[in-house]
Amino acid sequence: MGNEKILIVEAEALCANDIRHKLNDLGYPITDVARTSKEAIRKTEEIHPDLVLVDMILQGKMNGFKIAEKIQSKYEVPIIYLTDNFDQSTHIDSLESKPFGFLIKPVNDHELSSAVETALFTR
């Protein structure tokens, strides 16, 4: 723990900053926050993160699932989804992208820590 680069893909600034602060408190340096799908792809190419936290619902041409699939196909980086609403249909749709986990917003410190450690350890 300490040298891992984590990218947060989240359109809501308050939520992104909350997650950033929680990860900093847990000892993870946050490389960057992307607010759009286009920015997420660009930043992934630039920084090669060790983990990407992706909101399932983003505005623009690509939702969180499409971004995750594109990132994983090129970089094989673990993805953890962030969501406000986790239902059975969403869960089934998301499984194709082989996520390392799901976090319900607002994100709980303990769940965030556990999900991030698991994803980084098993990559």
**pLDDT tens per residue across span 73-115:** 899 899 999 988 766 666 666 777 788 989 999 999 999 999 9
Q: What is the pLDDT of residue 115?
A: 96
Give how far the C-alpha of residue 116 lies from the chain's centroid of Cα atoms, to the nearest Å: 9
Q: Hey, which residues does 11 pair with through a beta bridge?
A: none
What is the Cβ-side half-sphere exposure of residue 88, based on CA atoms within 13 angstroms?
0
Q: What is the pLDDT of residue 119?
A: 94
Q: What is the pLDDT of residue 1?
A: 63
Q: How many domains would you assign to the chain? A: 1
pLDDT tens for 17-43 read: 999 999 999 998 877 999 998 999 999
pTM of the predicted protein model: 0.91
| pLDDT reading at 63 higher than 90 | no
Identify whether 37 is part of a domain.
yes
Tokens of 74: 């090129």
CATH number at residue 80: 3.40.50.2300
Identify whether 64 is part of a domain.
yes
Report DSSP letters for 13-79, one per residue.
HHHHHHHHHHHHHTTPPEEEEE-SHHHHHHHHHHH--SEEEEES--SSS--HHHHHHHHHHHH---E
Closest among 108, 107, 101, 105 to 51, alpha carbons compared: 101
Boundaries of domain holding 60: 6-122
Q: What is the pLDDT of residue 98?
A: 80
Q: What is the pLDDT of residue 91?
A: 66
